[in-house]
Amino acid sequence: MWSRRTFIAEYSKSELQEQHFDSIFGQLWLILNPLLLSGVYYLLIVIIRGSSDSTRYAHLTASLFLFYLIANSLSSGVKSVTTGQKLILNTAFPRMMLPISAVVVAVTKFLPTLGVFLVIRTLIGLPVTWQMLWAIPVLLITILLALGLAIAISCINVYFRDIASFLPYLTRTLLYLSPILYEASTMIPKVRKFEVFNPLFPILDSWSRTMVHGQAPAMSSVLQALAWAIGIFLFGTYFFLSREREFAVRL
Amino acid sequence: MPSVSNSHKSGDIAVSVRDLSLTYTTAIDRKPTLKSRAKSLGRGTKQTRVVNALSHVNLDVEYGHVLGVIGANGAGKSTMMRVIAGILPPTEGRVEVFGKVSTLLALGVGFNPAMSGRKNVYLGGLAAGMSRGEIDDHFEEIADFSELGDAIDAPMRTYSSGMYARLAFSVAATTRPDILIVDEALSTGDAKFKEKSLNRMKELRGDDRALILVSHAMLTLRDICNDVAWIHKGKLVKRGNPDEVIDAYQEFLQVGKSAAIDEDV
């Protein structure tokens, strides 16, 4: 797989080009889109709660941007195998390169928004600490989880083509179940117990703690996130590899 | 012209197919959905069907030879080419390939119509396991051979089917594979390009490479092949001298020597 990295790089690049992200307005939109989204959700929070502060806005943007890394991996990963039909029917190559490219695209789209968040963070004057370096392992765990999810869903889509239309509801549900519009620390303990079943919960909680509050995340959260990510990644790759041989007759 | 040296001698085995059978399960719907699966739950309607595409096929291809493959539509010719190319795994039997295979299957290279011909050539090559440098080395030759001119940088959706075929053949033939599989891919090219590609195939044959040519153009097969295999309903019916096998096939089809079957490549 590593020897084919040029293909993955080239394929994601052309995918991005196709979505016009090589033009100035395309890149501007890449930043504008999540900013507008966070603005809308912030408005929602202010209306529902009646008040809010800048730290809450920072939490919202940081979590939302990371959430969109996963959501984008899912939405471009889901159709990666079915749109690669021609290539699959004509060439023998590791099919897993297709969903992996989708995740590479999602990560490329995420990086500028990370820059935007760092600017927001500086403007608000949040503390800068060494603990923020925890963001790196948390981000790596997120990418592993995104890979697992994209690989699994691209394979499921071969058998059930309507998964792609069902997906927006799934991501929307995940968005509301995850600590994005609210903070994990403000949740009722009774409800929070159930968050063990949400793979995004420990990731987003840890991310907010490091990136927004400049604290080290709870070790239990990081380990829980890692366990989820490894579990989903192994499940996804096993499922994909056991099925990829028959993609050519299923497409 | 950059030429990849060929380490194989004429007469060496290039592809060996032993007792190959292929059975696969595929969806009946063109697009299987969760909805249709849920609907059929209570009724017990079948969602998939089993296809016996190939049964007990034995076939050898030697270096320096051209094998023609004929048969009616749906006989299993393309499926067999996909198995040899390693795209489909065989259910039973063995397929051994001694060398680098380049395939030119019915669909051509075009794999993302929104991208230019150049991009598609690079992506197709990278997917097939070539390095960027190797593609760089061949690109000029590919572009020249295809005679597409400036169109090479136009999106592939603007190409005519003939242009698709030209580019696809150029990629497959100029990268100088040990084994080249051409599957009915040239029928849309114009007369001049057909002649050019035929000459290229003869050149490759003379260079001791192995070719497998799936075609309905009997005259071309009689001209270029050393051997012809006739496949019917997944079984190898006859294999041997081109004239004999083609005559038998035409007698079977009861079409005789009409012009329609001699023209396309």
- The tens-digit pLDDT sequence of chain B (265 residues) is 334 456 677 778 889 999 999 988 888 776 777 777 777 766 666 778 888 889 899 988 989 889 999 988 888 888 898 899 888 889 989 998 888 888 776 555 556 777 888 888 888 888 777 888 888 888 888 888 888 888 888 888 888 888 888 888 888 777 778 888 888 766 667 888 888 888 888 888 888 889 898 988 888 888 889 899 999 988 898 898 999 999 899 888 876 555 455 555 5
Task: Answer yes or no: do B131 and A159 touch at CB < 8 A.
Answer: no
Pairs across A and B, CB distance < 8 A = 85
Q: What is the pLDDT of residues A128-165, one digit of tens each?
A: 899 999 999 999 999 999 999 999 999 999 988 888 88
- Report the alpha-carbon distance of residue A81 to residue B156 in Å, rounded: 20
User: Of B187 and A176, which is predicted with more confidence?
Assistant: A176
Q: Are A138 and A222 in contact (CB under 8 A)?
A: yes
Domains identified in chain A, total number: 1
The phi-psi region of residue A129 (left if phi > 0; otherwise alpha if psi is between -120 and 50; otherwise beta) is: beta
Does the predicted TM-score (pTM) go above 0.95? no
CA distances to B37, B46, B49, B216 from B40, rounded to whole Å, are 5, 8, 15, 41
Residue that has been written with the tokens 């603005």 in this structure:
A39
Chain A nearest C-alpha distance from B227 (Å):
25
Residue B35 at interface with chain A, using a CB cutoff of 8 Å:
yes
The phi-psi region of residue B240 (left if phi > 0; otherwise alpha if psi is between -120 and 50; otherwise beta) is: left
Domains in chain B: ranges and CATH:
13-100+177-261 (3.40.50.300)
Task: Answer yes or no: do B33 and A250 touch at CB < 8 A.
Answer: no
Task: Answer yes or no: do B127 and A160 touch at CB < 8 A.
Answer: no
Q: Tell me how far the alpha carbon of residue A215 is from its chain's centroid.
A: 22
Percent of chain A with pLDDT over 70: 99
ipTM of the complex: 0.78
Residue A247 at interface with chain B, using a CB cutoff of 8 Å:
no
pLDDT exceeds cutoff 80 at A54? yes
Q: What is the pLDDT of residues A201-237, one digit of tens each?
A: 999 999 999 999 999 999 999 999 999 999 999 999 9
Picking from A11, A249, A251 by the largest number of B CB atoms within 10 A of its own CB, the best residue to mutate is: A249
Q: Are B146 and B167 in contact (CB under 8 A)?
A: yes
Give me the residue from B26, B129, B132 closest to A250, CB to CB.
Answer: B26
Q: Which tokens in the block code for residue B147?
A: 């005679």
- Report the alpha-carbon distance of residue B64 to residue B66 in Å, rounded: 7
- Residues sharing a CB contact under 8 Å with residue A23, sequence separation 6 or more, in sequence order: none
How high is the pLDDT of residue B106?
Answer: 53
> Which chain B positions have a beta carbon within 8 Å of A166's beta carbon?
34
How high is the pLDDT of residue A93?
Answer: 84
Interfacial B residues in 136-195 facing A (CB < 8 Å): none
Residue A16 at interface with chain B, using a CB cutoff of 8 Å:
no
- CB-count exposure of residue B74 (10 Å: 0-12, 13-18, 19+): exposed
Residue B13 at interface with chain A, using a CB cutoff of 8 Å:
no
Kindly state the DSSP code that residue B158 receives in the 8-state scheme: G
Chain B's closest residue to A2, CA to CA, is: B129
CA distances to B21, B24, B45, B152 from B55, rounded to whole Å, are 4, 12, 28, 42
How high is the pLDDT of residue B110?
Answer: 54
How high is the pLDDT of residue B260?
Answer: 52
Task: Answer yes or no: do A161 and B31 touch at CB < 8 A.
Answer: yes
Q: Which tokens in the block code for residue A222?
A: 């990081």
- Residues sharing a CB contact under 8 Å with residue B21, sequence separation 6 or more, in sequence order: B52, B54, B55, B56, B57, B90, B91, B92, B93
Chain B nearest C-alpha distance from A57 (Å):
39
Q: Tell me how far the alpha carbon of residue A20 is from its chain's centroid.
A: 21
The SS3 call for residue B155 is: strand
Interfacial A residues in 72-91 facing B (CB < 8 Å): 84, 86-91
Q: Are A79 and B31 in contact (CB under 8 A)?
A: no
Range of the domain at A219: 2-250
Residue A242 at interface with chain B, using a CB cutoff of 8 Å:
no
